[in-house]
Structure 1
Amino acid sequence: MLGIDPGLTRCGIGVVDVASDRSATLVHVGVVRSDPTAAIETRLATIASGIRAVIDAHAPAVVAVERVFAQHNRQTVMGTAQASGIALLVAGERGLPAATHTPTEVKAAITGYGAADKRQVQAMVARILRLDEPPKPADAADALALALCHAWRRGPTVGTAAVATPAQRAWAEAERLARR
């Protein structure tokens, strides 16, 4: 499971293995950095290259990307949206299914509270993955949280079919209706 916290300057990337009992193991965590003084196309190419390298090294089955949400800072949201598009493009190039999750969804899945702050998310990611200290920077921890959130939301698998809990089925139905 590959989680990506998109950002134009720092793009968090985390890979975890999640067992059917929801226990998780850290496989890889890092940040792809692009030079803020470089041309936008160079920055996006750097991000794409970093994501491709992680996919090649760890062969994740799924990619989970933070869903871009509205912010007051238009420049920040544009950079995040561009990096998110690159992450989804690379997943598509590699034939990997991709999903997006809002920050609130991720926080709720990891901490049980949708308005948790970054330190709470980092602490819970460290606890879940049995790490001695929280992953840093926060972008890296957020990427791991995205991967964990997606693994837990999609439910355990039996063979190739997902086994969803009643709550997961209700959530999926609510999302389906919201897309109408």
Structure 2
Amino acid sequence: MAKLYFYYASMNAGKSTNLLQADFNYRERGMNTVLFTAGIDTRSGTGRIGSRIGLDRSAIAFDADTDLAATVLAAEGPIACVLVDEAQFLTAAQVDQLAMLADVQRIPVLAYGLRTDFRGDLFPGSARLLAIADSLVELKSVCECGRKATMNLRVDASGKAVAEGQQTEIGGEDRYVALCRKHFTERLAAAAG
């Protein structure tokens, strides 16, 4: 039975690296995959999944109007796996499409993304994945204190915590710091107060 997997973590935990390794494993065995990434994230270029360790691969850029299921079903040859980077940017309807691919089409779906935003709130795509995924896998990252990092703190150009703003602001190490809940809460409270 194919499953819908949600691999989630804070920033800098290696989500894209893990996705690219899984894709390589399928392709090395001669199996076809379909890769998606959020069109809003152009850090590696539009329609590219890139990791900080230098791996990258082209992917289909999605936005809120993309029909993921139709795109997969229109792909050439049998599809062995669907891999989604930046899954936090999926809509709930798109997550349901991915579940249908696993349940009806029997295609495994591996979705990788953030669980929460810079305020500690769930992203819509992540909330739906947490609700319906068959398997939830937390990838580990490390806080500056050595504890497990579970939160994403947005920072300004001087490294000071940002407490207000839009939920989505694309950035990497220049805009976000992965922290444990204790240090996230302390720095966010200092910025808000």
Of Structure 1 and Structure 2, which has the larger fraction of its residues in strand? 2
Greater helix content: 1
- After TM superposition, the score normalised by the length of structure 2 is 0.29
